[in-house]
Amino acid sequence: MITVETQPWSVMVDHAQATYPNECCGAMLGSIDGDVKTVRLALPLDNAYEGAQRERYELRPEDLLFAEREARKNGMDLIGIFHSHPDCDAYFSKTDLENSCPWYSFIVLSIQQGKFHHANSWLPNMEQTEAAKEELTHPNA
């Protein structure tokens, strides 16, 4: 299961609402203790997708390297990636799956008419063929 603390949660929601109607993305830093992940810091990152960002996002590898370095600097780990679905539910789409990486939790925030609506966390498999829903706790839940 994954828990997002209040401060990073507000960073994620603010970023998702500010970039609406486009998709946003970012990194989640924190700690892992057995099966329990805690997000303590959220880093909004650039949506680098060249095209209609209303329904696509792309992370630059160098931004992920930056997030890894920030994590190390803060004594944390890079544990997940978040992105938003403007006016769509927080499912893990085929596009999400085919461009995912099984090493991280993927939190999807559904933004409806510019406001946070709900969120889910997903764990994609190695073959990028399916994603399991991960129990998610956050301040708006």
Smallest distance, Å, CB 11 to another protein? Answer: 19
- Looking at the DSSP assignment, which residues form a beta bridge with residue 3? 38, 137
Smallest distance, Å, CB 85 to Zn ion? Answer: 5
Give the strand pairing for 115-124 and 136-137.
Answer: unpaired
- Does residue 40 bind another protein (CB under 8 A)? no
With CB under 5 A as the contact rule, the residue among 45, 90, 96, 138 that binds Zn ion is 96
- Does residue 20 bind another protein (CB under 8 A)? no
Instruction: Provide the 8-state DSSP code for 138.
Output: -
- Does residue 83 bind another protein (CB under 8 A)? yes
Write out the H or E segment, with its range, that includes residue 10: helix 6-19
Q: Other CB atoms closer than 10 Å to residue 112's CB: what's the count?
A: 14
Instruction: Compute the chain's Rg from CA coordinates.
Output: 14
Q: Which residues bind another protein (CB under 8 A)?
A: 23, 49, 55-59, 61-62, 64-65, 68, 71-72, 77-79, 81, 83, 85-86, 88, 93, 95-96, 99-104, 106, 126, 128
